[in-house]
Amino acid sequence: MRGIYSSVTDMRRKVFTEVARLAYEGGDYSRMEDLPYKIVPGDVAIHRESIFLERAIVEERLRLAMGLPLRSVSEHAPVSKGVNESAIAEKYYDPPLINIISFACNACPTMHYHVTEICQGCFENPCKEVCPKDAISIRHGKSVIDMDKCIKCGRCKDVCPYHAILKVERPCARACGMDAIGSDEHGRAKIDYDKCVSCGMCLVNCPFGAIADKGQIFQLIHAIKTGKKVVAIVAPAFYGQFGQRVTPEKLTYAMKCLGFDSVVEVAVGADLCTVEEAKDFVENVPDKLNFLATSCCPAWSVMAKKLFPELAKNISMALTPMVLTARLEKKKDPDCLIAFIGPCSAKKLEASRRTIRSHVDFVLTFEELMGMFAAKDVDLENIPDSENVPLNEGTGAGRGFAVSGGVASAVADEIKRIAPEREVKIASAQGLHECKKLLTLARAGKYDGYLLEGMGCPGGCIAGAGTLCAVNKAAAGIEKYKKQADKQLASDTEYVADLELLEKDDLL
């Protein structure tokens, strides 16, 4: 759960720290076998029925954090199997990206309605009266639901005057906007990867820590150790993620302590994305397209193309801020390696696409980066402010991409600059459940002439699966960060001229 330092958060943080420390120290990686005993010491289990199960789960989390696949439960294999092959400076994700550690899953009950002890056995029995399948009977003065008859319509819950009927759902399945989570033969959660868009919402909503995504910490540190120039491009959502006293200057200094050559603000790419999407809207809506949808959230755009293929043309062709920023940096130095640092697991999937992987070499979440800081004993709040800090190049518009509504607002302002006479109507949705509703209405013609914004995470990027801060605090921080920008309108950025250069080189 974001913003709550729970036992699951603690385990994840320790895993990322130990993987980073292992990579920095180098040497014989077979000592990875000792890490589960370091992370889960002693001989008494704290959270599970046995210490052995706790360590087995940590073993799989270690492997995933290093980009390694889960091991088969039915076959013996050491924890370190494949680690030497992964100790390289360049490695993309082998699918699947989001994984369920089966023996960590609680096999939570699937969605159903449950009558609690709060039931008062009222005379009116509205729950029984509204049930379309006669699934509710009264026994010993209390309502009872026949699960064989129940169709899960929820009418009984809606009419109960005492709120005595609960809708019980698996947290991971409830959080999945793609309905991609079902059950295996043992009742444990299972992901349908044909539906999954790697948004990571199941990951942050599983209270048992049974779901994890693969990482590139290990490979990134190897790239740094080889002496290659690694440029960190940092998503606008970073502000406030590492503590209220950690300024952009301190973060830049700290990242250079990790071995990054330089740090660049992805808000620069967001500004360029804004300019491109505004141009797309003015040129295409309504003459060629009945509406235009923003493109920056990969979970949203992949969802749209999977479920609404006929609307794929309505998703802006503008490159995402991550890709635009990466291509700008690669144009300056084709030999550098680019590490995107952000809040999102879906960005890992985006970066692994054939057309993008030549420009974005690594994707790490803020949580994974925090593991690197811990491994190197970097005290973020007590380091000096750095001089010549590059994290002041994005405009307020680009920085606003981090919160729900920020993308559409930035694009609308730019449209008004280009075509002052145009009325810009906006509709936005956050969370894939709401995004599906938005596109369903758009397909029905309810949003003709509109600019649509979709965000896969409720709250926007600041609510991504790899964030550290509570969403409300993060939103307040971004608002402050926007105001600190020297320029507010996206097209005021000095990098607008670079769009023509990227287009000339066929990089747009």
Q: What is the mean pLDDT of each run of 10 residues along the chain (508 residues)?
A: 85 97 95 96 92 97 96 92 86 88 96 96 95 96 96 97 96 97 96 97 96 96 96 96 91 94 95 96 96 96 96 95 95 95 95 85 97 96 67 88 97 96 96 97 97 97 96 95 94 84 65
Query: Can you tell me the distance from the alpha carbon of 241 to that of 466, in angstroms, rounded to the nearest whole number?
Result: 10
- 433, two tokens: 């459940």
For residue 316, give every residue at least 6 positions away whose Cβ sits within 8 Å of its Cβ, in sequence order, or none. 276, 277, 280, 281, 292, 293, 294, 295
User: What is the DSSP-derived secondary structure letter of residue 397?
Assistant: H
Q: Does residue 366 belong to any structural domain of this protein?
A: yes
Q: Does residue 78 belong to any structural domain of this protein?
A: no
Q: Does residue 76 belong to any structural domain of this protein?
A: no
Q: With contact defined as beta carbons under 8 Å apart, do 471 and 464 qualify?
A: no
Q: Does residue 421 belong to any structural domain of this protein?
A: yes
Q: Does residue 423 belong to any structural domain of this protein?
A: yes
Domain around 16 = 7-70+84-106+175-218
Claim to verify: residue 300 and residue 428 sit in the same structural domain: yes
496-504 helix and 267-284 helix, angle to the nearest 10 degrees: 70
Claim to verify: residue 307 and residue 385 sit in the same structural domain: yes
Claim to verify: residue 244 and residue 101 sit in the same structural domain: no
**CATH number for position 123:** 3.30.70.20
Query: Can you tell me the distance from the alpha carbon of 44 to that of 53, in angstroms, rounded to the nearest whole number?
Result: 11
**Confidence (pLDDT) at 384:** 76
Q: How would you label 105-120 residue by residue, b for 16+ Cβ within 10 Å and e otherwise?
A: beebeeeebebeeebe
Write down which residue in 132, 153, 168 finishes a domain: 168
Claim to verify: residue 191 and residue 334 sit in the same structural domain: no
Q: How many Cβ atoms are within 10 Å of 179's Cβ, its own excluded?
A: 12
Claim to verify: residue 51 and residue 197 sit in the same structural domain: yes
Claim to verify: residue 95 and residue 135 sit in the same structural domain: no
**Residue matched to tokens 């993987």:** 19
Q: How would you label 262-289 residue by residue, b for 16+ Cβ within 10 Å and e otherwise?
A: bbbbbbbbbbbbbbbbbbbbeebbeeeb
In order of 113, 125, 133, 160, the CA distances from 157 in angstroms are 8, 12, 15, 6
Claim to verify: residue 462 and residue 428 sit in the same structural domain: yes
Please tell me the total count of domains within the chain: 3
Q: Does residue 247 belong to any structural domain of this protein?
A: yes
Q: Does residue 79 belong to any structural domain of this protein?
A: no
Query: Can you tell me the distance from the alpha carbon of 180 to that of 197, in angstroms, rounded to the nearest whole number?
Result: 9
State CA 399 to chain mean position distance: 17
**Confidence (pLDDT) at 498:** 78
Q: Does residue 492 belong to any structural domain of this protein?
A: yes
Give the DSSP letter string of 265-278. Answer: ETHHHHHHHHHHHH
Query: Can you tell me the distance from the alpha carbon of 211 to that of 202, in angstroms, rounded to the nearest whole number?
Result: 7
**Confidence (pLDDT) at 186:** 95
Q: Dihedrals φ, ψ of 506, to 5°?
A: 60, 40
Claim to verify: residue 25 and residue 153 sit in the same structural domain: no
Give the DSSP letter string of 413-471. Answer: HHHHHH-TT---EEEEEESHHHHHHHHHHHHTTTTTTEEEEEESSTTSGGGSTT--S-H
Claim to verify: residue 331 and residue 314 sit in the same structural domain: yes
Claim to verify: residue 126 and residue 261 sit in the same structural domain: no
The overall pTM is greater than 0.85: yes
Query: Can you tell me the distance from the alpha carbon of 207 to that of 50, in angstroms, rounded to the nearest whole number?
Result: 18
Claim to verify: residue 46 and residue 152 sit in the same structural domain: no
Claim to verify: residue 59 and residue 162 sit in the same structural domain: no
